[in-house]
Amino acid sequence: MRNKFDVELEALNTDLIEMGSMIETAIASSITALIQRDLHSAERAIEYDNEIDEMERRIERRCLKLLLQQQPVATDLRTISTALKIITDMERIGDQAADISEIVTRLAGEKDLLEIKNLKKMAEATIKMVNQSIDAFVAKDPVLSNEVIAYDDVVDDLFNQSKTELIHAIQTDSRYGEQFVDLLMIAKYFERIGDHAVNIAEWVVFSITGQHKNQKIL
Amino acid sequence: MRNKFDVELEALNTDLIEMGSMIETAIASSITALIQRDLHSAERAIEYDNEIDEMERRIERRCLKLLLQQQPVATDLRTISTALKIITDMERIGDQAADISEIVTRLAGEKDLLEIKNLKKMAEATIKMVNQSIDAFVAKDPVLSNEVIAYDDVVDDLFNQSKTELIHAIQTDSRYGEQFVDLLMIAKYFERIGDHAVNIAEWVVFSITGQHKNQKIL
């Protein structure tokens, strides 16, 4: 028979998977909003941010209860501290999906300038990283985690290319300077989302191996 | 005689004041780094970020211990939940001071483009907001908190002016497009730091009145 602690740990895992799926939805909505200039999707991503925040607090409370009532050791302790770290990165991804959507909302009615090819590529690359980091977490898969970590270079390169492309756009079409800067901010948010996906992947590796790249932060 | 709980609450308050002073130092260092192109100050702000992160974890542990061992109610509960919220905003200010300093480090050796007047004004306005929000917290001063909240409009206006100025700079001096974009990112970090100072001020108001602008997030 499974004990109460295992049941609660399982419930924690289910909540984390749900929160992961929430941020996948949020980022997908913000990208649809951006690419298709769809304000309903933008609204959805912004609303989702509140739900994600609530989910973060629910998981936090669950972790604290487990930590303080059960005083877990070794692997279980690692599982719980990983959960506390991962939800912080998930929550920030939710924030950034909302930030992107707010810019999209502000740009509604303006000329469609989304010919910036690298920005679309960034959107695709970033959502891939987020989805894979969640998959790696759900499957406790260190190989997939390492793929996510390696893929960050692709997103960083795309960010630099988007930046160059947008600087050029600002210089050649002075009417749309402000809008191009807004797109630059979106590129920056994508780059940051990629960083948070890397963090999640690094925490997955830690939860399996007990080793984290940056031991100091533990 | 004061009981153990009051003593621990007092220790929490001391830690918070110390963390506040740490972020004041971090942001001051990052601004010195920016304005005087001083790499030692940049390094200091970056190193400080780790210390701030450690302080955040220490305060978090202290709050959790208080919450779970003492099961406080009413005012004390509010004090502890305010602390947990405030340290999140403080930690992000520390992150952004480090982000600014990293850009300054990258720009070392490049031409000094800091004639952007509004960016210097933003630095001054932002550090003022941060210092006042910490002062408001230490003194539990709702009037000063409301001044910080109102002052955010000044920083937002300065951000918009910096943006316009930088877009113009990118358009008129195409050689320095990348560096101007870096300065734009710095302006964005200042704007965000202002937002976090507002959050701190709003939490101070909450800790005194029990009322928070956004009740939903509690």
B172–chain A nearest CA distance, Å: 8
Closest Cβ opposite residue A68 in set B68, B188, B216? B68
**Is the per-residue pLDDT at A216 higher than 50?**
no
**Is the per-residue pLDDT at A113 higher than 80?**
no
Residue with the larger pLDDT of the pair A214 and A21: A21
A184 CB within 8 Å of a chain B CB: yes
- Alpha-carbon distance B170 to B179, whole Å? 9
B216 CB within 8 Å of a chain A CB: yes
Cα-to-chain-centroid distance, residue A53: 13
What is the pLDDT at residue A114? 66
* DSSP annotation of A111: -
Q: What percent of chain A has pLDDT over 70?
A: 95
What is the pLDDT at residue A78? 84
A58 CB within 8 Å of a chain B CB: no
Read off the pLDDT of each residue in B141-154 and give the average, rounded to a whole number: 96
Closest Cβ opposite residue B177 in set A64, A167, A188? A167
Mean pLDDT score across all residues of chain B? 89
**Is the per-residue pLDDT at B2 higher than 70?**
no
B171–chain A nearest CA distance, Å: 5
Give the phi and the psi of residue B111 in degrees, each rounded to 5: -60, 140
| Residue tagged 């996948």 (tokens) | A24
Count of beta carbons in the 10 Å neighbourhood of residue B10: 11
A150–chain B nearest CA distance, Å: 22
- Alpha-carbon distance A102 to A30, whole Å? 9
- Fold that domain B4-217 belongs to in CATH: Methane Monooxygenase Hydroxylase; Chain G, domain 1 (1.20.58)
| ipTM over the 0.90 cut-off | no
Q: What is the pLDDT of residues B37-81, one digit of tens each?
A: 899 999 999 999 999 999 998 998 888 888 777 777 777 888 888
Q: What is the pLDDT of residues B91-142, one digit of tens each?
A: 999 999 999 999 999 988 887 776 767 888 999 999 999 999 999 998 999 9
Domain limits, chain B: 4-217
For chain B, the C-alpha Rg in angstroms (whole number) is 19
Read off the pLDDT of each residue in A62-68 and give the average, rounded to a whole number: 82
- CB contact at 8 A, B100 and B44: no
Name the region of B13 (left: φ>0; alpha: ψ -120 to 50; beta: rest): alpha
Mean pLDDT score across all residues of chain A? 89
Read off the pLDDT of each residue in A207-214 and give the average, rounded to a whole number: 78
Helical residues (DSSP H) of chain B, grouped into ranges:
4-36, 39-70, 74-107, 117-139, 142-172, 177-209
- Alpha-carbon distance A197 to A151, whole Å? 10
Q: What percent of chain B has pLDDT over 90?
A: 63
- Alpha-carbon distance A100 to A44, whole Å? 12
Read off the pLDDT of each residue in A96-118 and give the average, rounded to a whole number: 85
**Is the per-residue pLDDT at A218 higher than 70?**
no
Joined tokens for residue B61:
């542990």
Q: Is the dihedral of CA B141, B146, B152, B154 positive or negative?
A: negative
Q: What percent of chain B has pLDDT over 70?
A: 95
B53 CB within 8 Å of a chain A CB: yes
Burial-class residue B39 by CB neighbours within 10 Å (0-12, 13-18, 19+).
middle
Classified as helix, coil or strand, A213 is: coil
Read off the pLDDT of each residue in B153-181 and give the average, rounded to a whole number: 91
Count of beta carbons in the 10 Å neighbourhood of residue A3: 9
Closest Cβ opposite residue A53 in set B167, B188, B217? B217
